[in-house]
Structure 1
Amino acid sequence: MEMDTPVNVQVLKYEPLRQCALKVEVSRSTPHAPVQLFAKLRNDDRGLQLWKAFREIGAGKAEPGDFRLSRPVAYDERRRVLWHQWSEGQEFTAFAKRQGLIRACRKAAVALARFHQLEIAHLPSTTPEKNFRKLIERTNRMVQVHRQLKEPAQAVVLHLRQLPGFWHPAHQCPIHGDFNYSQLLFEGETPVLVDLDSACMGDPLYDVAHFVAGLYWLERRERFSLGDVQEAVYRFCETYRAGVPWEVPEDALHGQIALALVCRRAYKALRSLEPTMRDDMAYFLGLARHYLGKSTPYRTCAGQ
């Protein structure tokens, strides 16, 4: 690169002593559009693990309308920087408003099912024990802020502690590890899975559940109605189930949804410090208990 080449750097996220995410735009001396890249700097070797795992995945080989991954293009080992192609796409919520929430969720389910069937080496593993410890830590913090949440929080913890499907997943495969509406873009009709920092080997229902929990977050933020979200949850789960060759046990799915509602969404409400924080935490804990109390198939998610 020439020394006088204009470079524009935008900080997207910064966590002191942990990581920094950047958007880097490099101008060209030709009339072509600038080169745009995404850079993630970390204080550990996670970037190197992801580089080894995903550099051989042919992200551009997926059929149109199927899905693709945000593709790593280089790793700077000395600076611990992982470089990705910049994904220019439409956000999930915008696509859902234009094409319909159910259509967007079906496409997301197909993309997730295909991703779970990729053969990816060099990924670390996660365990139910690790996720359960996170549940304990986060519910304790919630109860410290809102003592009235102690009973519903303890009920969720006790139920998951006794749920065999949570402790003994029916299947293990590569998972995104943080799959939700904000990690999905659309380039035309093609879903693009982005931000694979949390990718690992684990229970695929963890991804399914976190996407479902994210839909309820959108409902709580009045992006979509409760009825639309309930129907979309059902269609997403059914489409995913049809797209994978393994069983999707409903009790295990409900358990993972409850975990995601508490660990991700109720805890996010706590960290938001918004005026509705306590009501939001209570809402997601109540929804988690509702899922754990289901004795009928998750078709009831559609309000039937």
Structure 2
Amino acid sequence: MRSDPEFPHLSTALSPLLMQELLQTTLVGQLDDQRHGLVVGSCVIGETRYKPGKSCVLSYHLQLHDVSTGSHHEQVVSARLCRPDEGMAEFDRAKSIQLFRVPRLQSLAYLPETEMVVWSFPNDRKLTHLPQLLNLEFLAAHLSSKLALIGLDGSNEIETITTEVLHYLPERSCMIRYRLTAKRRSTGESCALTLYGKIYRDDIGVEVHSIMYQLAEQMPGSAVPLGYDPELRTLWQSHVPGEPFLWESLESSDALDVVRRIARCVAEFHCCTVRTPSRFDLPDIDESLLDTIKAAEHAYPDLAGRITSLVNALLAQRRSMCWSGALTTPIHRDLKMRNFLIGGEKVALIDMDSVCLGDPMTDIGSLIANFHLNGIRAGADIGSIRKIVDVFCSAYAEAVPWAVSRPRMNWFTATAFIHEITRRSIRQLDNERMQYINQYLDLSELYSSM
């Protein structure tokens, strides 16, 4: 990857060993003598979002070892890489926000060696209410005032709460699972329930709540929104049983039946009616394709020429195609294997944050590309992946009341390999995905030629 003059310390930020040393010194080494003995045993890079020349946000998963007790625990740290001489100003701005005290660590720190500001979880640059959502004392009081929201009446009282962070995207969102026990005051009878809270950096949760509410009425078994909490910028939602749909799921004897159920679930979603002003259309795909070229020119110039040729060919192909009769349905905009839950014979679609209106083939192209992505990473051969794709496409075509255009489906799939798979690989600085990048580009060419 080519160096970025806007972020000259990027290579250091991407070195786990160097960051392990820096975070040991900055997060632990500056504390008082009573807290010595805490050692950063390992450092693993987590979520990364990189826009070449514009911004870079990362997370690190640290294994902390207490020398005095022999105990270990994990600590997540989010980080923002700054341009030269801008880190201290970012640090000063961050200090103005009340911080949660993290035992034995700095809650906030500035690393001049990398021009980086770091936040110890649950502190976050934009998710300012996150510490409250993990504070059991606060939650007990807060949820007790919202019993109706979680399906209880005033005759109940919350006895216990446990929390589990499921997915954390620094500066964007965090999904937390809550397991509660509540007791009915009159009888002493206890009950257990599970719910989820997703905190956002802004009020997008209002629109997500509206969309989930509409879909829950039309798709039985999907997550039910329990309410949006504007004070905490948090969307509360019900539990959906099941396990994530992973490539390993396709190694079972009923793999093809699972794929057919996935296809019927997508078809059911596309047949729903959703009222929303948000859209994702062909001009948006054009913009994303062109943005992929820019990202490649900055970070991987050796790939930029090929990506540019592919994008130009796809845009020319689109202009030559007939688009009369194109459909508008709800589209998920993040249709990937992990966003399906398999529970016995039932399939549920989750994570509705990006739902809007558009051509349903946008979603189909995304999922086909994701099948290939996961299959390639699992070492599957192209023939077995194509079999999964063919079964899915046939089952989907049988389940929807409209005729599915294979040329359009193939075009959307070819574009997904560029503006989703390739662009995300670059932006997430995902070395594992980048080693397969030419295979993704080959597949884009293949699908565009079908």
- From the superposition, tell whether residues 147 and 90 of structure 1 become closer, same or farther in structure 2 (CA, over 3 Å): same
1:151 paired to 2:305: yes
Distance 1:100 1:250 in 2: 26
| Residues 56-205 of structure 1 mapped to structure 2, 5 A cutoff | 56-58=214-216, 62=220, 68-93=221-246, 94-122=248-276, 124-162=278-316, 163-164=318-319, 165=321, 170-205=326-361
Q: Structure 1 pair 224/85, CA: closer, same or farther in 2 (3 Å)? A: farther
What's the offset of the Cα at 1:278?
3.7
> Which of 223, 230, 233 is the matching residue for 2:386?
230
Judging changes above 3 Å, is the alpha-carbon distance between structure 1 residues 147 and 109 closer, same or farther for their aligned structure 2 residues?
A: same
2:197 counterpart residue number = 39
**Alpha-carbon distance change, 240 to 208 in structure 1, aligned in 2, over 3 angstroms:** same
2:178 aligned partner: 24
Letter in structure 1 aligned against 2:445? R
Q: Which residue of 1 aligns with 2:401?
A: 245
1:299 corresponds in structure 2 to none
Q: Using CA pairs below 8 Å that are at least 6 residues apart, which structure has the higher relative contact order? A: 1
Deviation at 1:144, TM superposition (A): 3.0
Among 358, 362, 365, the alignment partner of 1:209 is 365
Q: TM-score, normalised by structure 1?
A: 0.84
Q: What SS does the aligned partner of 1:69 have?
A: coil
CA distance in 2, matches of 1:57, 1:277: 33
Shift of 1:126: 1.7
Unpaired runs of 5+ in structure 1? 63-67, 295-304
Stretch deviating more after TM superposition (92-101 or 204-213): 92-101
Go from structure 1 to structure 2 and tell me whether the alpha carbon gap of 1:4 and 1:110 turns closer, same or farther (over 3 Å shift).
closer
Tell me: CA distance 1:33–1:181, structure 2 relative to 1, closer, same or farther (3 Å).
farther
> Which SS does the other structure have where 2:435 is aligned?
helix
Segment of structure 1 superposing worse, 135-144 or 267-276 = 267-276
Q: Tell me the secondary structure at the aligned position of residue 401 of structure 2.
A: coil
Contact 1:102 1:231 in 2 (8 A): no
8 Å Cα contact 2:157-2:182 kept in structure 1? no
Q: Quick one: structure 1 residues 247 and 267, their matched pair in 2 at CA, closer, same or farther if it must change by over 3 Å?
A: same
Secondary structure in 1 aligned to 2:171? coil
Q: Give, in whole Å, the separation in 2 of the partners of 1:259 and 1:53.
A: 27
Q: Which has the larger radius of gyration?
A: 2
Q: Percent identity?
A: 22
Question: Do 1:172 and 1:202's aligned partners in 2 also have CA atoms closer than 8 Å?
Answer: yes
Q: How far apart, in 1, do the equivalents of 2:237 and 2:225 lie?
A: 4
Q: Are 2:377 and 1:221 aligned? A: yes
Flag the 1:57–1:279 CA change in 2: closer, same or farther, 3 A. Answer: closer
**In structure 1, C-alpha distance between the alignment counterparts of 2:216 and 2:357, rounded to whole Å:** 19
249-258 or 1-10, which deviates more: 1-10
TM-superposed deviation, 1:268: 3.6
CA contact (8 A) 1:152 1:289 kept: no
Residue in structure 1 matched with residue 51 of structure 2 by the alignment: none
Q: State the match for 2:117 in structure 1.
A: none
- Please say if residues 177 and 207 of structure 1, whose CA atoms lie closer than 8 Å, have aligned partners that are also in contact: yes
Preserved CA contact (<8 Å) 2:224 2:237: yes
Partner of 2:449: 293
Q: Secondary structure at the residue paired with 1:248?
A: coil
Q: Deviations over 1:91-117 (max 9, x none)?
A: 212543334432222111111111111
Decide whether aligned partners of structure 1 residues 61 and 210 sit closer, same or farther in structure 2, where only a CA change above 3 A counts: closer
Going from structure 1 to structure 2, the CA distance change for 1:69 and 1:246 (only over 3 Å counts) comes to same
TM-score, with length taken from structure 2: 0.59
Offset at 1:191? 0.6
> Which residue is equivalent to 1:255?
411
Contact residue 53 and residue 120 of structure 1 kept, 8 A: yes
| 1:54 equivalenced with 2:212 (yes/no) | yes
More helix by share: 1
Q: CA deviation at 1:183?
A: 0.4
Question: In the TM superposition, what is the alpha-carbon distance from 1:32 to its structure 2 partner?
Answer: 6.1
1:14 aligns with 2:172: no
Select the structure that is richer in strand: 2
The structure-2 alpha-carbon separation of the partners of 1:23 and 1:253, relative to structure 1 and needing over 3 Å to count, comes to same
Distance 1:123 1:31 in 2: 46
Amino acid at match of 2:211: A
Mind listing any 5+ residue stretches in structure 2 that lack a counterpart?
Answer: 1-143, 145-155
- Is contact 1:13-1:20 (8 Å) kept? yes
Q: 1:252 to 1:57 in 2, by over 3 A?
A: closer
CA gap of 1:264–1:121, structure 2 versus 1, over 3 A, is same
CA–CA separation in structure 2 for the residues paired with 1:148 and 1:196: 36
